[in-house]
Each structure stands twice: as structure tokens, then as C-alpha cells.
Amino acid sequence: MSETSTGTREPNAESRGQSGGRKGAGNSERGKTTIADSVVAKIAGMAARDVIGVHAMGGGFSRTFGAVRDRVPGSSKSVTRGVKAEVGETQSALDLEIVVDYGVSIVEVANSVRGNVISSVEQMTGLEVVEVNIAVSDVKLPDEEDDEDEEGGDRQLQ
């Protein structure tokens, strides 16, 4: 990928097919590779969480429900919380819902999340990310407890 003067990423010659268009997610003469929406959602969720200033993913209800679900023995934290992915043959689009830390520039965090998600999804899947919509649903204040802490910390249901 190469960077343009506006800071957007454009595919370079190595990531284009013979016809000049982007390659699919793994189509070849010997078969077809499909990538599930959930795979792209997991990649995007991990990439979004890596950005400094992102406190959590998802809205209030999904975070509360997720905190309860995370306490059930044998369950794991959902990396797709707050992420919706739509995957086509060669392209994907994502909607993310995030909670940011108080004091950070929301615009800068959103731009960093968008860039990190696009880079990770395109690098790992070969799909072109056509859009990443980000909804900031809350701001985590310094004196607020996390949703996970409000329900009893690291305690698990038995």
C-alpha cells in the first residue's frame, strides 16, 4: 500500500490483480476462499482495541450483557462486541461502536481506529475495506467504575 498526500491508503501494484483491480480474498484457478463476517469482525475488534484512547467496545447494554456473560465459567470475552462486519467477495464494510477515555481527542481516536482497522483487515484478509463507520457511544470518566467492576469485579458465576 502507498500513502497519498491526503493520508489515505491506496493499493500499489503488488496488491492489484492482472487486470489492475484488487485481488479477491483468495480466489485462484484451483478454488475459492471465503471469509466469514465473524472473522473480519474479530480482526476489526482486536485492531480497534489496540488504539490508545479506546476504553471499551459496544454500547451500554451490550457491555453490561457482555460483562455478565464474561463471568460465566468457560466463556470468553467477546472481541466482536461493538463490531458489525459485512463481507462481500472482494470488499468489506464495518460499523464500530466505541467508548473513549475522557480527555482524548475523539476525532484523533476515531481516525486512528479507522486506520488501524483498515490496515489490519486488508493485510490479513486481502479484502478491500470500503468504509469503517465509528459511533462513539460514551466517554469513560476518570472517577467512573467499569461496567465489569460494577457487577463484582473478576468474580465468576457458579
Non-local (6+) Cβ contacts of 63 within 8 A are: 56, 57, 81, 99, 147
pTM over 0.85: no
User: How far apart, in whole angstroms, are the C-alpha atoms of residue 122 and residue 95?
Assistant: 16
Element (H, E) at 45: helix 37-49
Confidence (pLDDT) at 63: 47
Mean pLDDT by 10 residues, the chain (158 residues): 42 38 63 95 97 91 51 66 96 97 97 98 98 97 69 43
Kindly list the domain boundaries of the chain, sorted by start residue: 34-150
Confidence (pLDDT) at 15: 40
Confidence (pLDDT) at 20: 36
Element (H, E) at 76: none
Confidence (pLDDT) at 144: 80
Confidence (pLDDT) at 11: 42
Confidence (pLDDT) at 157: 43
User: How far apart, in whole angstroms, are the C-alpha atoms of residue 128 and residue 93?
Assistant: 9
Task: Specify the fold of 34-150.
Answer: Alpha-Beta Plaits (3.30.70)
User: How far apart, in whole angstroms, are the C-alpha atoms of residue 147 and residue 33?
Assistant: 39
Confidence (pLDDT) at 67: 53
